[in-house]
Every structure is written in C-alpha cells, then in structure tokens.
Amino acid sequence: MDLAFSPADEAFRAEVREWLHAHVPRAPLPSLETEEGFAAHRAWEAELAADRWSVVNWPSRYGGRDSGLLRWLLFEEEYWAADAPGRVGQNGIQLLAPTLLDHGTEEQRARILPPMACGEVIWAQAWSEPEAGSDLASLRARAVRTDGGWLLTGQKTWSSRAAFADRAFGLFRSDPDAARPHQGLTYLMFSLRAPGVTVRPIARLDGKPAFAELFLDEVFVPDEDVIGEPGRGWRIAMATAGNERGLMLRSPGRFLASARRLEELWRRLGRPASARDRVADALIGARAYQLFTYAAASRLLDGEEAGPESSLNKVFWSELDLALHETALDLLGPEGEMADTDWAERYVFALAGPLYAGTNEIQRDIIAERLLGLPKGRR
C-alpha cells in the first residue's frame, strides 16, 4: 500500500481545508439531539451541499463530486480537524445511500439521494426491536401485501435521529412462514409522518432525545419504496450493516481529531503524569485505526467487499472512542461531569458505541467464527 498522496489529492485536501476555514461556524451549533440543534444542523447540511461538500464521494448527478473513497477519507480528516459540526444526516448519507447505490433502482436513487444530500430529508435507522436488537433475524415487525404496496405493523426501538427525522429505513418480516429466520424479510423505506406512525422519543442520559421508539399501525408503503426483491432483504441489510460497522460510519478523521484535542487538553492541564500513557494510547490508537482504514479502503478499491473485517473496525473504534473520552473526563475532574461540556456530551455518545451497530459481543463472535475459524460459541 502506497501512503504517498498525489499532487491532485493534496490539492483536493487544500481546497477542503480552505472551504472549511471560511465556512465552519465560529461558535458550536446547539446539540443536534435537540429540536433547535437539529434544525441548525440541517441548515449546515444545506450549506455543505451548496458547494457539493456534503457527499464528496457520491456521483455528481446526485450532488457529489465523484471524488472516490480515498478523497472521502481526506475530506473527513480535514472536516473533523476543523472541528466542524456533527453530521445530522449520517444515517442516510453513510448507511442508506450506499445501499441504494448498490441495490436500489435508478428511480429510487434519483428521487431519494439529492434531498438527502442537502438535508431536506433526514433519515432515521429503524433496525432494532424490543426483542430483536443485535439478533436482527428475530425481528417481528411485519409487512403485509396490499394493493400497490405494503402495510407495516409493529414496533421499532432505539431508532437514532427518529425524534426529529423525516423518514426511516428498516427490515420487516413479509413471510412469517419462511423456513429460516433470516428468510422472508423485506427492506423498506417509510415516512415518519405517514398515517399510522407514532414516534415516542427516548431520552439519553443527559435528557436529550437521541433515539425514539416507532409504533407502526398498518402504515402504507408503496412498492416504489421497497429496496431489492421482496422477501430477500437480509442480504441487502447485511451490506448496510457492513457499512455501519466499517469505515463509512466512523471515519478515522473523527478519532484523530479527538485524540489531538485530548493531547491539547493534557498539555493545557500541565501534562499530568498519571494520564500520560492513556493519552499516548489514544494517539497511537487513532493513528493505528487510520492506517487500518486506509488498508481496508485499498481492498475495497481493488474490488473486494468489506466482509467480516468490518467487525474488527467496529470493536476497535467503539472501544477507542470510549477510552479516549473517559481519559478526558478524568483529566477534567468535576468540570468534566457538567452535562453541558463538549467532552461530556461526546462521552455520553461514546457510551453507546459498544452497543449500537451490533453489540461488541456479537462482533467478537463474528471475528471468532468467520475470521479465526473457531467453532460457534454457546448463546
């Protein structure tokens, strides 16, 4: 793997840095887990999209720059280094969009991607159910055939962004008599404002509604909002999950920036020896994740798929994020416990990392069975 960037790549990086320097808000936006902050972050998505920076690796006809995976990584490094706002549209941009690009129809891509790119439509993820979290194949929410579409009934929970989002995507059981749990599932998109949808926000530790429960009572979804072939949604969902666990959801730029902020904090507080090794571990971990991601990107550019290696990514970044923020709060002491500090909010988010996108226990099972070839464990 050649880690030297071409002059054109370096020029791209410089253009990103210049644009961010001119446009990143001088004062942090309100938390995107509030109604006010959600609206402010939606406006930020529109500002990014106006100059085609919201989805740089997408095809230009959908609002991107055809920049490719490598330049997306460069963009992410500059974005987080500039301390730019969190991306309220990430569920759609980084999870649903790759799924549509690989498995959707051209009509779906043309209809859904441009409004997603500019923040006009924000998407929530509707995977988990009360008795089907990491064990996605045990989900019970059903899709029943009707004239021109499907009727969705059931409950989804821990739906990130759903408190204020516009639409959601998820998997539904369309054939309850299928021979195996992961068969007879259909991948659908639906409006969170459609008749029959009830959204009940779930408060996080700090009281902000970062998640929501969705109650669906015969919600009509037209055929045009089915992704792929009805009854064969599992394979497509696994592609989405691979994006979630892999490099698309959590780019290394995010952790490099956080590790550098942690180092700055440590230096500002007089370089306490008690935290020196933990700060060094964070810097090394962020750099290691960056190199691992570039290796993964190289494999993808060579035509390989993300595969079960995505589980390695997920375990690594989620534990790195948590350790990094725990170190920051320990350095800050009582000040770090204040709910409104930037470090505290990011710590609350990091707490969920080992749980969402499939718990780390599940990921370790995948690593053991599919990468190391060990026998299945007892569950």
Tell me: the pLDDT tens digits for 9-65? 999 999 999 999 999 999 999 989 899 999 999 999 999 999 999 999 999 999 999
159 pLDDT exceeds 60? Answer: yes
Q: Is residue 116 part of a domain?
A: no
Residues 171 and 144 in one domain: yes
pLDDT average, residue stretch 129-147: 84
**Which residues, in sequence order, are CB contacts of 1 under 8 Å at separation 6+?**
294, 295, 298
Amino acid type, 170: G
Query: Which tokens hold the place of 259?
Result: 């590790």
- Residue whose token pair is 């800050």: 332
pLDDT average, residue stretch 242-269: 83
| Domains identified in the chain, total number | 3
Q: Is residue 228 part of a domain?
A: yes
286 pLDDT exceeds 90? Answer: yes
One of 33, 78, 244, 345 is an active-site residue; which one?
244
80 pLDDT exceeds 90? Answer: yes
Q: What pLDDT is recorded for position 134?
A: 63
Q: Is residue 29 part of a domain?
A: yes
Q: Is residue 1 part of a domain?
A: no
Q: Burial level of 244, CB count in 10 A (0-12/13-18/19+)?
A: buried
Q: Is residue 108 part of a domain?
A: no
Residues 230 and 128 in one domain: yes
pLDDT average, residue stretch 155-169: 94
Q: What pLDDT is recorded for position 302?
A: 79
Residues 166 and 202 in one domain: yes
Q: Which of 217, 231, 224, 193 is nearest to 141 (CA)?
A: 217
Residue where a domain stops, chosen among 240, 266, 283: 240
Amino acid type, 122: I
Residue where a domain stops, chosen among 240, 261, 286: 240
- Answer yes or no: 244 catalytic: yes
Residues 257 and 364 in one domain: yes
Q: Which of 287, 295, 239, 241 is nearest to 70 (CA)?
A: 295
The more confident residue out of 219 and 363 is 219
Residues 185 and 134 in one domain: yes
Query: CA 88, CA 122: separation in Å to the nearest integer?
Result: 7
- Residue whose token pair is 């840095």: 17
338 pLDDT exceeds 70? Answer: no
pLDDT average, residue stretch 311-337: 90
Residue where a domain stops, chosen among 189, 206, 240: 240
**Which residues, in sequence order, are CB contacts of 282 under 8 Å at separation 6+?**
258, 259, 262, 263, 320, 323, 324, 327
- Residue whose token pair is 């509707």: 126
Q: Is residue 340 part of a domain?
A: yes
Q: Which of 294, 314, 327 is nearest to 358 (CA)?
A: 314
379 pLDDT exceeds 60? Answer: no
Residues 264 and 367 in one domain: yes
Query: Which tokens hold the place of 251?
Result: 């780019």
306 pLDDT exceeds 80? Answer: no
The more confident residue out of 375 and 198 is 198
Query: CA 88, CA 343: separation in Å to the nearest integer?
Result: 18
Percent of the chain clearing pLDDT 90 (strictly above): 61
Residues 58 and 170 in one domain: no
Residues 173 and 202 in one domain: yes
Q: What pLDDT is recorded for position 336?
A: 77
Q: Which of 18, 124, 36 is nearest to 79 (CA)?
A: 18
Residues 274 and 220 in one domain: no
The more confident residue out of 304 and 145 is 145
Q: What is the overall mean pLDDT for the chain?
A: 90
- The whole domain housing 27 covers 7-87
Q: Can you spell out the DSSP letters for 82-151?
A: TTPPP-TTHIIIIIIHHHHHHHS-HHHHHHHHHHHHTTSS-EEEE--BTTBSS-GGG---EEEEETTEEE
CATH no. for residue 317? Answer: 1.20.140.10
For 221, the enclosing helix (H) or strand (E) is strand 211-222
Question: Residue 327 phi/psi, 5° resolution?
Answer: -65, -45
Query: CA 279, CA 275: separation in Å to the nearest integer?
Result: 6
Percent of the chain clearing pLDDT 70 (strictly above): 94
Task: Tell me the pLDDT tens digit for each residue of 118-137.
Answer: 999 999 999 889 877 667 77
Query: CA 238, CA 34: separation in Å to the nearest integer?
Result: 31
Q: How many helical (H) and strand (E) elements, i.e. helices and strands, does the chain have?
A: 12, 8
Q: Is residue 175 part of a domain?
A: yes
Residues 323 and 367 in one domain: yes
Query: Which tokens hold the place of 73?
Result: 């990584």
pLDDT average, residue stretch 162-176: 95
Question: Residue 82 phi/psi, 5° resolution?
Answer: -80, 0
Q: Is residue 110 part of a domain?
A: no
Q: Which of 90-99, 129-138, 168-177, 365-374 has the lowest mean pLDDT?
A: 129-138
Residues 231 and 257 in one domain: no
Residues 268 and 356 in one domain: yes
Query: CA 336, CA 324: separation in Å to the nearest integer?
Result: 13
378 pLDDT exceeds 70? Answer: no
- Residue whose token pair is 């666990």: 245
